[in-house]
Structure 1
Amino acid sequence: MFKVLETFDTKFSADSVEWCPIEGFKDYFVCGTYELLKPEEQSDCSKNETQTRQGIIYLFRVVSPGNLHLLDQVNVAGVLDMKWAHVTYEGRILLGVVNSLGYLQLWEFQGESKMNLITETKVRCADDEYLALSLDWSTGRSAWNHSTEVKIAVSDSKGFISVYSVIQGRLSLVASQSAHEFEAWITAFNYWDPNIIYSGGDDCKFKWFDTRTGLHSVGSNTIHTAGVTSLHSNAESEFILASGSYDEILRLWDTRQMRRPISETNLSGGIWRLKWDPFHHKYLFAACMYSNFKIIDCQHQHNPEIVGELNEHESIAYGCDWSSLADDEVANKIVLGNCESRTAIAATCSFYDHTLRLSVITLGN
């Protein structure tokens, strides 16, 4: 199912990869890195705890015949998560980044092979040290209404989730709430109702909140037996949500009935990231930390099936994403030969071996 096309050394440990979803730029993607530098590796002016975590944001484009073209790289604080806005907003292609200094940043890609930082804010405006761990945009549904306010949800290492509005390139705090006793590893919007926000934490709790009630919790369960690390709303099936955990179990949920999941599938290795495919939203791409990258067929929601695995990475599987290039665009980028199946270009990255891989995935028809 996987065919590796190219490998890239990211220098620092790689933990995040995200393909641009905007028409005309779907062959672009970013990769983020995070490195805890040893004291002897720091410059004299940066030898304090808040500046030991450094990173790089790489901007790539896939060019024929399936080669990576590095367009830009920016030295930043350690990157914990990145997400593109699913649509252009106010005429801009925007990338949200959360980092090791506790900041939420907005970067703009102008189609000129460069990423430009347009604004940033310390999450919750708190003075103490913490990491901003994950983010999600409210724009994920394919039929998203452009007149709707755009929001970003952020989780952090103090267990808080925070919501920001994005207006004219500025970030404004809407609400913030203590959600978990330990790290809030993940937060995600319900793309069908962006008033609802989900979170998962190292306290094994899976919670959901309503921004109309001041971001107060409106539900919670403790079915996960270890930290909850990944959540992704399905943009085509209104009531379907996927969750992943250190407990190695992929759970599919019907958001109308959250007491018990629809199904539980053991993926092994601890699940760090889950991504629905951008075509029919029937396959999940999973980064399974200590057990490689996997493709899961979820067309039968009560019995998901592992149908593919990439096992060429030699360290913790952290970042994965599919491009949303159509079949004919994929064919223009890579040499496939005779292939009648659905194909997708994907990127994966792993941590301590600081490796990024570009691959092609062959799916069913």
Structure 2
Amino acid sequence: MTSSVLGTPLVDWVAAAQIAARVAPPGPTASRDELAALVAGLREAASAAVPHVLRVTRMSPPDLTPPPGAGEGTLELSQVYVVDRSRWALANTEVMASLTDGVAESFTAAGDKPVSPATALVGAAQVGAVLAALSSRVLGQFDPYSVLDPDAGAAPGRLLLVAPNLLQLERDLDLVPADFRLWVCLHEQTHALQFTAAPWLAEHLRAAARDLLVGLSESSRQLAEARLRDKLTTAGRVVLRAVRGQDGSVAHGLLTPDQQRALEEVSAVMALLEGHADVMMDAVGRATVPTVRRIRAQFEARRDGQGAGTLDTVLRRFLGMDAKLAQYRDGAAFVRAVERDVGRDGLNAVWSGPEHLPSAQEIADPRAWVRRVHG
């Protein structure tokens, strides 16, 4: 991960993971027995979520088989890992390395100088700081870019459950642990099902992300070559917009209009993925998660920043987390509106191919998607 054929990659990913691990805040304290019960409970919840997700989504992924050595009736959508904050950061450097593979080489091929080790280390410090800030906030994540020995029958991708963050939140919100853990796993296993049922989706997003990264890196290079006054003016404007919530993130402010439109289309797909998972995790109902309504109410209040300090609010905007939260809500509104028109089976046409993914305009106007796809 720290070298490439033509030169050094954009970021020293190993260093980024090490920096994130050192800077990340410590998790909540717990006894050895509590931690063992937490890990076992999360693994159990991840397994229990699968049949519920299959039932409520009405999606049938190909070749869904029990994992090796599993008991009768056990199905697996992904490899499950219960991790701490530093391991989550490491996993995300691996994802980011995969998504940026070849970006540095594209500049070298275009005649630019190879990325220097010093530049890659600066990138590592920046990425490591961001991952450290996010590591205490993420509850779970499905990574579709890790195919773990498919020849051995392992499911593609990996589901990461960040144990200290789940423990901290269920304590802070006074939630029923078993209900909350299953509820989170329902969301993440829905993501696993999305990528399993639509095997083209991961590469579609990878290609779009790579194109955006090439454009953003080019914009950043041009900024680096600009006069000092222009650098300060541009950087100040971008940061000010970010903390005011006027742009999705600092990176958004560096994009050209064409790049911003491309980002909006990628964001539309992410809104679909997050909104669909949010709707499905609640659709299981109280028979499966007895306190689901209370969890949702508490969670929405947390998403709205209830009780958050000024520094936390600024950090959320600076990292683009408010834009991420908007994706959940916009995507959920799209899913519910489409289901009202054509039902859940009609909604599932969205997973049949990239041409059926909603555009940014269709996320805001679900009936436009229905007219285009269903006539």
TM-score bracket relative to the smaller structure: under 0.3
TM-score, with length taken from structure 1: 0.22
Return the structure number with greater helix share: 2
TM-score, with length taken from structure 2: 0.22
Return the structure number with greater strand share: 1
Structure with larger RCO (C-alpha < 8 A, sep 6+) = 2
